[in-house]
Amino acid sequence: MQLKVVFLGTASAIPTSTRGLSSTAIVRGNEVLIFDAGEGMQRNFIEAGLGSNKKTKIFITHMHSDHCIGLLGLLQTMSLQNRDVPLQVYGPELIGDFVESNMKLLHFGLTFPLNVNIIKEGIVVEESDYIIRAKLAEHSVKTYSYCLEEHERPGTFYPEKAQKLGIPKGGLWHKLQHGEQIEFKGRIVRSEEVTGPKRKGRKIGISGDTRVNDELVEFFKDCDLLIFDSTYGEDHKDKAAENMHSTAKEAATLASRANVKKLVLTHFSARYDDVKVLAKEASEMHPNVVAAEDLVVIEVPYPQ
């Protein structure tokens, strides 16, 4: 299944002419998972062609305006486009009040069922082939980091092994291929008897606004892709600590310790016209770093 990350907004606090406020989408097969919805993110959402009527979940990391105000416009646009598929929103306590009060104040209704889920640390989404976990980050207000973890997939199917057991091609093969056990001629045949070793799924982490700490190193352990708060460069290290954000180099230090394969820096302060310097500082600590840009797409392959 194809999985790609699309950056819909990579600025912190103040947008620039080239960077919108925080929002990142993971497009996994036919599903769209959106992490944060800063003001104006819907322009890039439309530009990226993510679709208003798809199976969608929206995760809000925290209730700072540059991460959640865009949700209102997105919901409204989806309604104007006659969305009818239910939409799930996840976030900290105030997200429910925020959506409800604003819908009243701004007099808008929705064409689709909206479910707002107030989350706690732990597994917040459980689908048949992946989970999403939340973990408290370290910011000036309650903030959640998120991790998408795909389940292991069944190993490579060996038709000759199934043939050897006399199992006829068709539905039974299909079940075995997909990791199920079958009953054949009075005996249980396990998928493992006709497939190779299980194959790993992908793990994608999203930090939200945060400092780095040991608990997050653990939370993001072995991520194939980690998207991390990199508001500042080393020139404003003190500001990063004071405002409860991270520098690009701090993000990369965490990524190294967590054995992350690829690190993407995002949430850049408007003071940096060119974020190459941040990527360079991070590269000193991690071998595979890129700086996100609005509308950049990163495909995440299955781990080898």
Q: What are the residues whose beta carbons fall under 8 Å from the beta carbon of 14, sequence distance 6 or more?
A: 270
Q: Give the CA distances from residue 172 to residues 154, 183, 188, in Å, rounded to whole numbers and listed in that order.
A: 15, 9, 12
Q: Based on CB atoms, which residue is closest to Zn ion, 154 or 208?
A: 208
Q: Compute the least distance from the CB of residue 19 to Zn ion, in Å.
A: 12
Q: Angle at the Cα of 205 (from 202 to 210), degrees rounded to 5?
A: 170
As given in the structure block, the two tokens for residue 165 are 């057991």
Q: Which stretch binds Zn ion (CB under 5 A): 64-72, 95-103, 234-242, 255-263?
A: 64-72
| Closest separation in Å from C-beta 68 to Zn ion | 10
Rounded Cα–Cα distance for residues 16 and 294 (Å): 11
Q: Read off the tokens for 156.
A: 């490579």
Binding status of residue 224 toward Zn ion by CB under 5 A: no
Min CB(32)–Zn ion separation in Å: 22
> Helix or strand or coil: residue 5?
strand
- Candidates 28, 57, 64, 249: give the one binding Zn ion (CB under 5 A): 64
Cα distance between residue 146 and residue 89, in whole Å: 14
Q: Cβ closer to Zn ion: 10 or 195? A: 10
x/- contact string, 183-212, with Zn ion (CB under 5 A)? --------------------------x---
147, HSE (Cβ side, Cα atoms, 13 Å): 25
Question: Would you state the structure tokens that stand for residue 93, as one six-digit string?
Answer: 């306590």
Spatial distance between the Cα atoms of 32 and 289, rounded to a whole number of angstroms: 24
B/e letters for 123-148, b = 16+ CB within 10 Å, e = fewer, are ebbeeeebbbbbbbbbbeeebbbbbb
Site string for Zn ion, 258-287 (x = CB under 5 A): ------------------------------
To Zn ion, the closest distance from the beta carbon of 62 in angstroms equals: 6
When the beta carbons of 103 and 244 are compared against Zn ion, the nearer one is: 244
Residue 191 or 266: the one with the smaller Cβ distance to Zn ion is 266
**Residues between 2 and 31 that touch Zn ion (CB under 5 A):** 12
Query: Least distance in Å: CB of 220 to Zn ion?
Result: 18
- Is there a catalytic annotation at residue 273? no
Distance, in Å, from the CA atom of 6 to the CA atom of 20, rounded to the nearest integer, reads 13
User: d(Cα 140, Cα 299) in Å, to the nearest integer?
Assistant: 32
Nearer to Zn ion, 78 or 264 (CB): 264
Contact present, 118 and 91 (Cβ < 8 Å): yes
Size of the site for Zn ion (CB under 5 A): 4
Nearer to Zn ion, 24 or 52 (CB): 24
Shortest approach of Zn ion to residue 231 CB, angstroms?
A: 7
Helices H, strands E: what count in the chain? 10, 16
CB of 82 to Zn ion, least distance (A): 32
Catalytic residue among 36, 66, 209, 294: 66
Taking the least distance from each CB to Zn ion, the nearer of 39 and 66 is: 66
Q: Which residues bind Zn ion (CB under 5 A)?
A: 12, 64, 66, 209
By annotation, the residues acting in catalysis are 66
